[in-house]
A and B are shown apart, each in its own frame.
Chain A
Amino acid sequence: MDAFVLQILNGLDKGGAYALIALGLTLVFGTLGVVNFAHGALFMLGAFCAVAVEKLLTLSKQVKDESITFFDAYKEQPYLEIWWGDFGRAIIDYSVPLSILFAIPVMLLFGFVMERGLIRHFYKRSHAEQILVTFGLAIVLQEIIKAAFGANPIPQAAPEPVSGSANIGAWFGLGEAVVYPYWRLIYLFFSLSVIGGVFAFLNMTTYGMVVRAGMADRETVGLLGINIQKRFTVVFGLAAVAAGLAGVMYTPILPPDYHMGMDFLVLSFVVVVVGGMGSLPGAVAAGFLLGILQSFSSMTEVKSIIPGIDQIIIYLIAVAVLLVRPRGLMGRKGVMES
Chain B
Amino acid sequence: MPTTPSFPKLQSELAIMAVFAAAVLTMPLWMAPFGAAYPDLLQKFAIYGIFAIGFNLLFGLTGYLSFGHAAFLGVGSYAAVWSFKLFTMNVLPAVVFGTLVASLFAVLIGFVALRRAGIYFSILTLALAQMSYNMAYSVLTPITNGETGLQLTQNDPRMIDHMFVDRGAGLPSTNLFGLEMSGYPGFYFCAVVLIIAFFISLRIFRSPFGLKLRAIKSNQTRMGYTGFNTRPHLLFAFIISGGFAGLAGSLLAITDPLAGAERMQWTASGEVVLMTILGGAGTLVGPLLGAGLIKYFENIFSAFNDSTLHEIFAFLPDGLESVVVFLVSPFVGEGWHLTLGALFMVIVIFLPGGIMEGLRRLSRLVRRPSAGRADQPQTQEG
Q: CB within 8 Å of B: which of A123-172?
A: 125, 127-129, 131-133, 135-140, 143-144, 146-147
Please give, as numbers and ranges, the residues of chain B lying within 8 Å of A311 by CB-CB distance: 131, 134-135, 137-139
Contact assessment for A128 and B135 in the assembled complex, using a CB-CB cutoff below 8 Å: no
Contact assessment for B115 and A322 in the assembled complex, using a CB-CB cutoff below 8 Å: yes
Contact assessment for A266 and B126 in the assembled complex, using a CB-CB cutoff below 8 Å: yes
Contact assessment for A338 and B117 in the assembled complex, using a CB-CB cutoff below 8 Å: yes
Please give, as numbers and ranges, the residues of chain B lying within 8 Å of A262 by CB-CB distance: 266-267
Of the stretches A11-19, A60-68, A175-183, A312-320, the one at the interface is A312-320
Contact assessment for B116 and A133 in the assembled complex, using a CB-CB cutoff below 8 Å: no
Q: CB within 8 Å of A: which of B65-85?
A: 65, 67
Interface code A299-336, partner B: CB below 8 Å = 1, 0 otherwise?
A: 00000000110011001101100110010000000001
Which residue of the partner chain, among B65, B130, B138, contacts A315 with CB atoms under 8 Å? B130
Interface code A267-294, partner B: CB below 8 Å = 1, 0 otherwise?
A: 0011001000000000000000000000
Contact assessment for A35 and B119 in the assembled complex, using a CB-CB cutoff below 8 Å: yes
Contact assessment for B128 and A319 in the assembled complex, using a CB-CB cutoff below 8 Å: yes
Residue of A at shortest CB range from B221?
A338
Q: Is the interface of A mostly helix, strand, loop or mixed?
A: helix
Contact assessment for A312 and B335 in the assembled complex, using a CB-CB cutoff below 8 Å: no
Contact assessment for B131 and A316 in the assembled complex, using a CB-CB cutoff below 8 Å: yes
Q: Is the interface of B mostly helix, strand, loop or mixed?
A: helix
Contact assessment for B344 and A312 in the assembled complex, using a CB-CB cutoff below 8 Å: no
Which residue of the partner chain, among B63, B112, B273, B338, contacts A132 with CB atoms under 8 Å? B273
Residue of A at shortest CB range from B117?
A338
Contact assessment for B112 and A319 in the assembled complex, using a CB-CB cutoff below 8 Å: yes
The reply on B169 being an interface residue by CB < 8 A is no
The reply on A230 being an interface residue by CB < 8 A is no
Contact assessment for A133 and B345 in the assembled complex, using a CB-CB cutoff below 8 Å: yes
Q: Compute how far the CA of A127 lies from the CA of B121 in the bound complex, rounded to whole angstroms.
A: 11
Contact assessment for B138 and A140 in the assembled complex, using a CB-CB cutoff below 8 Å: no
Given contacts A262-B267, A315-B131, A319-B127, contact A147 B342 (CB under 8 A): no
Contact assessment for A318 and B127 in the assembled complex, using a CB-CB cutoff below 8 Å: yes
Residue of A at shortest CB range from B329?
A147
Please give, as numbers and ranges, the residues of chain B lying within 8 Å of A132 by CB-CB distance: 273, 277, 344, 348
Which residue of the partner chain, among B131, B267, B341, B343, contacts A137 with CB atoms under 8 Å? B341
The 9 closest A-B pairs by CB, nearest first: A139-B341, A308-B139, A136-B344, A143-B338, A136-B345, A338-B118, A315-B131, A311-B134, A140-B341
Contact sample, A vs B, 26 pairs, CB 8 Å cutoff: A127-B118, A128-B63, A128-B122, A135-B270, A136-B274, A136-B342, A137-B345, A139-B337, A139-B338, A140-B342, A143-B337, A146-B335, A147-B334, A266-B126, A269-B127, A307-B138, A307-B139, A308-B134, A311-B134, A316-B131, A318-B124, A319-B127, A322-B124, A336-B118, A336-B119, A338-B118
Q: Given A128-B122, A315-B130, output 10 extra A-B contacts at Cβ < 8 Å.
A: A127-B119, A132-B277, A132-B344, A135-B270, A139-B270, A140-B342, A140-B345, A143-B341, A266-B130, A336-B118
